[in-house]
Amino acid sequence: MPRPLSIPSLDLGTRVHDVFLVMDVDARTSGTGEPYTILTLGNSTGQIATAPFWLEQQDQIAGLRRGHVVQVIGDVVSYRDRKQIKVISIRHLPEGSVDVRSLLPSVGSVDKYWETLDSWRKEISKPRLAAVVNLFYEDEDFRRRYEQCPASVRGHHAAIGGLLKHTLEVAAIARTLARTSGADLELVVAGALLHDIGKLESYTWDGLFDHTEAGILIGHVVLGAMMLDRRLAQEKNPPCTERERDILMHFILSHHGKLEFGSPVPPRTLEAEVLHWADNASATTADLAETLDQEKRYWEREGRRLYPVSSDWGARDKR
């Protein structure tokens, strides 16, 4: 398949003729009571909304739903400082005619992430701690799935390979915090490597990113703890003590910080607190960076106005 159209690089007035994945179908009603629908179209480079399909245009999108692959012809226009595609023609392509995975957001090659994470993992000198982590990270099937899984369905690092990139960021931040706070560095790294393993059973990524039934009913935090307990139970000679198992399980169960954010227990060890804030920093900064990666003067998010700021700080003065 040819290189996908770069959505972030689209200029106003550009005529678009390309293949997209329908990321969302949003039926709305105007202030005057008129129904309309907006599609969110995407490919591996990003997403863009369409201009509204009003009542008299509904036949163009009849039957379209999330996950459909469509051929679109349209023009890039602006509405309230945001680019959108004013669709001239849209056609649902037959299932199987396009590899849906090629249209999903992706972090690209994951080799550099594995290289760094594996180097940090191999620095774990405590035999039982290393043995537990290696039950997962030396399993080829686990590695294959882990490097493909997104870190979220629609939020931070929602991309093929996003979970691996997020894990690297969490480990990098946590290592610095551990050194600063005097926490056990090796234990913190192990916690970072294990904290999100439950996402493998919580998400699907063979089409649009979505939740599994277990992900909806149980959630990735508890699923991760269950995965760790189940994997340890499979070993004839357990690689760690029950107390050590509980310490590692606490990382998984507490890394969201509070019950209202999905953790059944708050962090109760220094190392778990370090992991929680490292996870939070990776997730929130990735969210903000994605929000700011748009051509607007400011953004409203979570009750805050966010502004993109830049300056050469005198760099040009040196020339």
End-to-end CA distance of the chain: 44
Retrieve residue 64's tokens: 């379209």
Whether 165 maps to a domain, the answer reads: yes
Task: Tell me the mean pLDDT in the region 261-280.
Answer: 94
Instruction: Say whether both 189 and 204 belong to one domain.
Output: yes
- What is the pLDDT, as a whole number, of residue 302? 64
**Considering the domain boundaries, does residue 217 fall inside one?**
yes
To the nearest 10°, report the CA torsion of 94, 96, 98, 100: 110
Q: Which two tokens stand for residue 96?
A: 């199987």
What's the confidence (pLDDT) of residue 301? Answer: 61
The residue segments making up the domain with residue 22 are: 7-102
Q: Where are the alpha helices (DSSP H) in the chain?
A: 111-121, 127-137, 140-146, 162-181, 185-194, 199-202, 213-217, 220-233, 242-254, 270-292
Task: Give the pLDDT confidence of 278-289 residue by residue, as tens digits.
Answer: 999 999 998 888
Answer yes or no: is 301 within a domain.
no
Q: What is the mean pLDDT of residues 256-280?
A: 93
Asked whether the predicted pLDDT for residue 67 surpasses 60, the reply is yes
Pair 108, 55 in one domain: no
Q: Does residue 308 surpass a pLDDT of 80? A: no
pLDDT at 76: 96
Token duo for residue 169 = 């960021």
24-28, 130-134, 227-231, 308-312: which range is least confident on average?
Answer: 308-312
Verify that 147 and 261 share a domain, yes or no.
yes
Q: Are 274 and 177 in contact (CB under 8 A)?
A: yes
Is residue 261 situated within a structural domain? yes
pLDDT reported for residue 296: 52
pLDDT for 234: 96
* CA gap 215, 202 in Å, rounded: 4
Q: Which residue stretches of 102-198 are H helix?
A: 111-121, 127-137, 140-146, 162-181, 185-194
pLDDT tens readout for residues 75-125: 999 998 889 999 999 999 998 888 888 889 889 899 999 999 999 999 999
> Considering Cα of 190, then 143, then 208, then 298, what sign does the dihedral take?
positive
Which CATH number goes with the domain that contains 63? 2.40.50.140
- Find, among 234, 164, 174, 229, the residue nearest to 199 by Cα: 164
Looking at the structure, do residues 141 and 195 belong to the same domain, yes or no? yes
Query: Do 74 and 144 fall within a single domain?
Result: no
- 181/165 Cα distance (integer angstroms): 24
Per the structure, the count of domains in the chain is 2
In this structure, of 111-125, 129-143, 177-191, 299-313, the range with the lowest mean pLDDT score is 299-313
User: What pLDDT, on the 0 to 100 scale, is given for residue 242?
Assistant: 96
In a domain, residue 305? The reply is no
Of residues 49 and 101, more confidence is placed in 49
Same domain (yes/no): 75, 149: no
Query: What is the per-residue pLDDT across 173-227, written as a single tens digit (0 to 9) for each?
Result: 999 999 999 999 999 999 999 999 999 999 999 878 999 999 999 999 999 999 9
The CATH code of the domain that includes 142 is 1.10.3210.10
pLDDT interval class at 311 (50, 70, 90): confident
Dist. CA 83–CA 295, nearest whole Å: 8
Q: Confirm if 124 and 133 have CB atoms less than 8 A apart.
A: yes
Res 4 pLDDT > 90 = no
Do 159 and 22 fall into the same domain? Answer: no
My answer on whether 52 and 130 are in the same domain is no
Which stretch of 109-113, 140-144, 153-157, 249-253 has the lowest confidence by average pLDDT? 153-157
Whether 192 contacts 151, CB under 8 Å: no
- The H or E element that residue 35 is part of is strand 35-43
Q: Does residue 279 fall inside a structural domain? A: yes
53 bridge partner residues:
37
Residue 112 shares a structural domain with residue 172? yes
Same domain, 138 and 282: yes
> What local confidence, expressed as pLDDT, does residue 259 receive?
86
Domain endpoint, select from 40, 67, 102 = 102
Does residue 218 sit within a domain? yes
Percent of the chain with pLDDT over 90: 73
> At 1, is the pLDDT very low, low, confident or very high (cuts 50, 70, 90)?
low
Give the contacts of 87 (CB within 8 A, at least 6 positions apart): 39, 50, 51, 53, 60, 72, 73, 74
